[in-house]
Structure 1
Amino acid sequence: MNSVPLQRLIEGASSAYAASNGIQRTDEWLVLKLNEEVGEFTQAFLALSGQARDKGDTATERTARFRAELADVYGQVLLLAERFDVDLTAEVRRKWRLPAL
Structure 2
Amino acid sequence: MTLKALLHAVRAVSNIYAKRFNITRDELWYLAKLQEELGELTAAHLKASRRGRSGTSTAQELHTQKEDEAADLLAHLLLYADQNDLDLEEAIRRKWMQYLPA
Indicate the residue corresponding to 1:18 in structure 2. 18
Instruction: Work out the CA distance in 2 between the residues paired with 1:14 and 1:85.
Output: 17
Q: TM-score, normalised by structure 1?
A: 0.89
Contact 2:45-2:66 within 8 A present in 1 as well: yes
Indicate the residue corresponding to 1:8 in structure 2. 8
Find the residue that maps to 2:25 and give its secondary structure.
Answer: coil
Runs of 4+ in 1 over 3 A off after TM superposition: none
Indicate the residue corresponding to 2:80 in structure 1. 80
Q: What is the number of equivalent residue pairs in this alignment?
A: 99
Q: Mapping of 1:1-101 within 5 angstroms?
A: 2-96=2-96, 97=98
Q: CA deviation at 1:54?
A: 3.3
Read off the aligned partner of 1:85 and give its amino acid letter: D
Percent of matched pairs sharing the same residue:
35
Q: TM-score, normalised by structure 2?
A: 0.88
Instruction: Work out the CA distance in 1 between the residues paired with 2:3 and 2:99.
Output: 15
